[in-house]
Structure 1
Amino acid sequence: MPQLDVDGAALTYDDEGPRDGDGVPLVFVHGWTANRHRWDHQMEHFAQKRRVVRLDLRGHGDSDGAGARRIEELAADVLALLDHLKIDRFVLVGHSMGGMISQTIALAHPERVERLVLVNSISRMTYSRGRGLLMAASTLVPFKLFVATNIQRAFAPGYPREEIREYIRGSSATPREVVMTCYGAMRAFDVLDRVGEIRIPTLLVHGYHDIQLPVSQMLRMAKAYPDAVVRIVDAGHELPVEKPEELTTVLDGFLTGRG
């Protein structure tokens, strides 16, 4: 696993696929408490024909480093990696917090982003009453219980419990400081009034059963995007692993102009 030292963090990443393949490289950015393996299905599919890059954000997965207090810090990490790999132009695909990072990059460097894909993500962090109470209670309950509750809520009803337990174990390995610091960064994130500046083809894919970041919040964001395609999938918040084949198909269609 290659790593790159960026501002005190060793970022683990994968860089696969032909350098002279179809189109510009795809860059996949995972969400809060997750890791780059959320994109396994997409990585396997797209790396057959084009260059594909994914990374573990600082403090997540196989990367070390302290948590980021602002989404802009995580965006800077992604750009540092792409500069290191000499990738000037790319397609960004971000899930949840990764979508916030992707929007931040698209706003700061529109000339580098050919297309933008936001999976179960939003432009302004807004909490339902239940979600707000859960986050408020985060300092009062054991950390592992807090993480487990969040991950359990992320999946649509009926998803296999044993698989959910695996994701809970993976998320629980993320250091508490990283989890809570990145939570603060997401809580402060708000670019809803600026997304109209993103004038590149954009795909918004969302799980119908997402109660972490509800569809209604995504649709509010969609109205602000000047050139957005919206797809709703029968899944929860963890769409990349709940319905990986369907997400890959939707993404493939968007990249090739077939959907």
Structure 2
Amino acid sequence: MTPRLETFTAHDGLHYRYRPAEGDAPLLVFANSLGTDLRVWDRVVALLPQSWGLLRHDKRGHGLSLARAGLTIETMASDVEALLDHLGITRFAGIGLSVGGLIMQRLALRRPAAMTHLMLADTAARIGTPEIWNPRIEAVLGGGIASISDAILSRWFVPAYAGSEDFALWRAMLERTPAQGYADVCAAIRDADYTADLARIAVKTLVVAGSADASTPPALVRATAEAIPGARFVEIADAGHLPCVEQPASFAALLREHLA
């Protein structure tokens, strides 16, 4: 079968890949984690049906997207809404990883009639504290991401993955993220707390966590799921903060089951 390639383009400084759904197939909207670009979903996308629609994008200051002054979770959610409107998307399933999960939590409340399903991965309503984020922001702006990349990668992946052939590729993705763009998103995460809003999410929700995630530990992610009415929680074994990279087959299988 000839693969149907996504269109790679830009709108208002946002770079994205888009493939419309065929017939009644679902359309999935993805939001990435801190320090990654839309390629973080490549392995999951490769396992999904060709007929499914896909919308992936690079956050502001990440990948090929332009930076934006005054960046917050709300403005990043507005960026996704701009893409939805630009493409005329009125029904979609939202999939958010880490900070992308914060973005998708906002869209679940902003566009409840449009979002049919929600999948949150390795995220929470509040991630970290100023005591964690402020030193990281200072370190990145002072010495670049490479100065702390070892510590970040140790939280992203289980130890055995560091010996894999493509570990260096994910290090390169992280370290090539613009320092200011990375710091801006760190500040947006630091300032966000949507704990009080979790109970208002009414869409069918699946929450997953890598069993060895040191950035958003499973207990934190489970507590998030328990605060969302009717949400289901699943741990993905042998994965850290990016189960879509380390365990794409498990991630894709859970996503397909959730959308069935």
Any conservation in 2 of the 1:90–1:112 contact (CA below 8 Å)?
A: yes
Matching residue's letter, 2:16: Y
Q: C-alpha distance in 1, partners of 2:77/2:27? A: 17
Confirm or deny that 1:4 pairs with 2:26.
no
Q: C-alpha distance in 2, partners of 1:31/1:11? A: 16
Deviation at 1:191, TM superposition (A): 0.7
TM-score with structure 1 length normalisation? 0.89
Confirm or deny that 1:245 pairs with 2:249.
yes
Matching residue's letter, 1:80: A
Deviation at 1:164, TM superposition (A): 2.6
1:170-203 deviation digits (Å, cap 9, x = unpaired): 1111111111111000011111111100011100
Between the two proteins, what is the percent identity of the paired residues? Answer: 28
Identify which of 185, 189, 195 aligns with 1:186.
189
Q: C-alpha distance in 2, partners of 1:157/1:194? A: 35
Identify which of 190, 214, 217 aligns with 1:214.
217
Superposed counterparts of 1:1-259, under 5 Å: 2-6=8-12, 10-16=13-19, 18-22=21-25, 24-66=26-68, 69-127=71-129, 135=136, 138=139, 142-143=143-144, 144-161=146-163, 162-234=165-237, 235-256=239-260
TM-score with structure 2 length normalisation? 0.88
- Tell me, what secondary structure is at the counterpart of 2:221? helix
Matching residue's letter, 1:124: R
Deviation at 1:58, TM superposition (A): 1.8
- Tell me, what secondary structure is at the counterpart of 2:116? strand
Select between 145-154 and 217-226 the one with higher mean Cα deviation.
Answer: 145-154
- Tell me, what secondary structure is at the counterpart of 1:118? strand
1:89-148 deviation digits (Å, cap 9, x = unpaired): 11000111111100011122212211100011111123598x569637626962212234
Deviation at 1:67, TM superposition (A): 6.4
Gaps of 5+ in 2: 1-6
Gaps of 5+ in 1: none
Select between 191-200 and 157-166 the one with higher mean Cα deviation.
Answer: 157-166
- Tell me, what secondary structure is at the counterpart of 1:60? coil
Matching residue's letter, 2:158: A
1:194-225 deviation digits (Å, cap 9, x = unpaired): 11000111000100100011111112212211
Matching residue's letter, 1:238: L
Any conservation in 1 of the 2:205–2:232 contact (CA below 8 Å)?
A: yes
Matching residue's letter, 1:117: M
Q: C-alpha distance in 1, partners of 2:61/2:67? A: 5
